[in-house]
Amino acid sequence: MYLKKIEIHGFKSFADRIEVEFEKGVTGIVGPNGSGKSNISDAIRWVLGEQSAKTLRGSRMDDVIFAGTMQRKPIGMAEVSITLNNESNKLPVDYSEVTITRRVYRSGESEYYINKSLCRLKDIKEMLMDTGVGVDGYSSIGQGRIDDILNNKSGNRRLLFEEAAGIVKYRSRKEESEKKLENTNQNLLRVNDIIRELK
């Protein structure tokens, strides 16, 4: 599986729609300071569901929408799509190419799509779990992340190994089941109380 294409429209400095196709192998992005190189990696993190404005080098989530320049008015929507080649079937879907899209409006409304079908962020997270590609995966390593990984105290290194070992989805399912079990136990207590009152 590899990143095949990214399309950006209205995200940070990219007011006009741009499309970058990645070939297999190593791609370097070069350009003068402030030309938007890091905005491309921010776009990749954002489309994968990043919820922290700080991680995206902003202070509010709508800082990702093109804010205008001296020559150009701000725009009302940001949209990023990434296309992953899935010929290896690493993603658990029946498509050889998967396009993930995130769109946000200034009103705060936000939408996610998988292959142009509206979905929840949860669906994207589940699809990418244990592939290394998700927002917490190891395929996107920001500058601060390397320190996190080398720093034993934070426990982040363990999360990285768990993702690589493919056990994150089992931990997530276990946590969901534990929550359901807890809710069922609470309901059972309530039912027992009612039965006792009726007796």
Write out the residues near ligand ATP by the rule CB under 6 A.
12-13, 31, 33-39, 63, 65-67
**CA-to-CA dists, residue 12 to 5, 15, 37, 71, 130, angstroms:** 18, 7, 11, 15, 29
For residue 32, say whether it is annotated as part of any ligand binding site. Answer: yes
Q: Which residue, 39 or 83, has its beta carbon nearer to ligand ATP? A: 39
The C-alpha atoms of residue 191 and residue 122 are separated, in whole angstroms, by 32
36 is in an annotated binding site: yes
**Cα 73 from chain centre:** 28
CB of 143 to ligand ATP, least distance (A): 10
We find the least distance from the C-beta atom of residue 32 to ligand ATP, in angstroms, to be: 7
Cβ proximity to ligand ATP: between 34 and 155 the closer is 34
Shortest distance (Å) from residue 31 CB to ligand ATP: 5
Q: Which residue's CB is nearer to ligand ATP, number 87 or number 147?
A: 147
Residue 177: CA atoms inside 13 Å, Cβ hemisphere, count?
A: 6
Task: Provide the 3-class DSSP secondary structure of residue 86.
Answer: coil
Q: Per the annotation, does 10 bind a ligand?
A: no
By C-beta, is 39 or 81 nearer to ligand ATP?
39
- Residue 71 Cβ, how far from ligand ATP at the closest point, in Å? 12
Q: Quick count: other Cβ atoms within 10 Å of Cβ 62?
A: 16
Q: Any binding-site annotation on 35?
A: yes
Q: To which H or E segment does residue 37 belong? A: helix 37-47
Q: Is 37 annotated as a binding residue?
A: yes
Q: Which residues contact 95 (CB under 8 A, 6 or more apart)?
A: 86, 115
Annotated binding-site positions: 32-39
Annotated binding-site positions for ATP: 32-39
